[in-house]
Amino acid sequence: MLNDSQARTVLADAELLFAADEVQHAVRRVAQAINATLADQHPLLLSVMGGAVVFTGQLLPMLDFPLDFDYLHVSRYGNDKRGGELHWKVAPRENVTGRVVLVVDDILDEGETMHAIKQRVMELGAAKFYSAVFADKNIGKSKPVHADFIGMELPNRFVFGYGMDIHGAWRNLPAIYAVKEH
Ligand code: IMP
Ligand code: MG
């Protein structure tokens, strides 16, 4: 966790990658693509807490067809910047059985989180799996899963804002920032 002055310093030292209006354009593009693809499938939308909370909250009112909503809570990073063990706080449950499922997350990094979610959801007998991520990080190697709907491509840097945190801070920013490389 960052204290108040550490959080402010991190933001002051960060680089703005995408401003809030670019973020909003990306969300609208994703919503249009989802509307075009899933309108007749009555999907169960699963939002991955806590990073997807901002993206999901803006995306949902832009979807113009009937759907059901639930959430998962899984964290991979804990409070550390490096990828690690997956920790399920709320795992997928039986309500996915037989459903077209759309999992919404903030960012596809190495893809391990989305891959694990997909495995659990399919094991529980979902009819079809889709994923939407606000951002796809260009990590320069292949990922175990690809997202069906992607808001924006991001460079292989640690980013925060728009739901993504840096040591717990700044999920509330409307824009995307990257930690400066030294
Ligand atoms: P993956 O399993 O490597 O794809 O990691 C995906 C998860 O890690 C996402 O749900 C994010 O919560 C988190 N994550 C990955 N990259 C970043 C980042 O640059 N900033 C903040 N969170 C990140
Ligand atoms: Mg996450």
What domains are defined for the chain? 19-167 (3.40.50.2020)
Q: In this structure, are residues 72 and 46 in contact, taking their beta carbons and an 8 Å threshold? A: yes
**148 counts as catalytic:** no
Give the rounded distance of the alpha carbon of 176 from its chain centre.
13
Pocket flag, ligand 1, residue 72 (CB < 6 Å): no
Quote the ligand 1 centre to 113 CA distance (angstroms): 8
What backbone torsions phi and psi does residue 7 show, to the nearest 5 degrees? -60, -45
Nearest to 164 by CA among 69, 72, 76, 68: 76
Question: Between the CA atoms of 132, 135, 141 and 143, what dihedral angle is there, to the nearest 10 degrees?
Answer: -20
Quote the ligand 2 centre to 21 CA distance (angstroms): 23
Pocket flag, ligand 1, residue 111 (CB < 6 Å): yes
Each residue's pLDDT, cut to its tens digit, for the chain (182 residues) gives: 999 999 999 999 999 999 999 999 999 999 999 999 999 999 999 999 999 999 999 999 999 999 999 999 998 765 555 556 889 999 999 999 999 999 999 999 999 999 999 999 999 999 999 999 999 999 999 999 999 999 999 999 999 999 999 999 999 999 999 998 76
